[in-house]
Chain A
Amino acid sequence: MTVPIGYYLVLSAILFSIGVGAFLIKRNIITVFMSIELMLNAVNLTFVAFAHQWHQISGQIFVFFVMVVAAAEAAVGLAIIIAVFRTRNTLNVDSVDLMKL
């Protein structure tokens, strides 16, 4: 029994769109950040599906590098969130609208 690669691509499109929607709708800065992680994961699924389709290993290498960059991004982003919360005492993105702390 087989699964068409297209199903995997449709699933990743659904995940990516939900990530975009959560990014737009959510007002909590941590949840907005989590929806970015969801979008990265959706793109990773596309990479793995195409790596399986074309029997190329470079798709999986890309996923590896995306994971590394996502880990670095999560560490720096959460540190920024902590710094913003310390100065403003809020996590609402609407009240965080200046570049300076």
Chain B
Amino acid sequence: MYLLLFFIFGGLCAAGALNLLLQSHPINSALSLIVVMSSLAVLYLLLGAEFLAAAQVIVYSGAIMVLFTFVIMLLNAGKEERTHGSKAAYIVGVPGVAVLVCLLSFIFLSQKSHLSNARLGDYLVTTSDLSAVLFRDLLLPFEVTSVLILVAILGAVALARRGN
């Protein structure tokens, strides 16, 4: 059952990522990225990270992708056109990516004996466990990220404002 769930949602992830690569219209890429992020949330649940699964759906599939689709529709982005740069990227990029994925998969699968197996529910991190670390040991970094968010909001408003 667990293996079946992993293969369903892992396959959905990989298919969505491939669709992002193959579609030429940005709105199709954005929608397939939403599929990838939602199925990653299910994989987080399978790994026992319940808070991160919820945050993945709310922050990534919710907030960030809504922002992306909003910008795509605002700028009325059409199909992308092919240029000389894209041909060079194909020649260098496709073999390089193939080498990268083969190398990483070989390393991970050759170290498989050192890695354990994941069973459903054998290690569950609850929200209270996470918040105990976040608000006690890592309080300063947590507060610094709120300053970062504030700076990002100000920067976004300043950049996107019309006219100088």
Contacts and interface: CB of A to CB of B under 8 A. Distances in A.
B74 interface: yes
B104 A17 contact: yes
A38 B92 CA distance: 20
Contact of A48 (B37, B52, B60, B64): B52
Nearest to B152: A72
B20 A4 contact: no
Does more than half of chain B's interface fall in helix, strand or loop, or is it mixed? Answer: helix
A78 B29 contact: no
B29 A80 contact: no
A1 B46 CA distance: 12
Top 10 A-B residue pairs of the complex, sorted by shortest distance between their CB atoms:
A72-B152, A13-B104, A2-B117, A24-B93, A79-B159, A17-B101, A79-B156, A21-B97, A28-B80, A79-B160
B101 A5 contact: no
Contacts of B139: none
Given A28-B80, A38-B17, A82-B74, A65 B63 contact: no
Interface residues of A, number: 71
A17 B43 CA distance: 19
Interface residues of B, number: 87
B8 interface: no
B71 A30 contact: yes
Contacts of A48: 43-44, 47, 49, 52
A29 B34 CA distance: 18
Contact of B72 (A30, A49, A86): A30
A21 B86 contact: no
Contacts of A86: 162
Contacts of B111: 6
B162 to A, nearest CB: 7
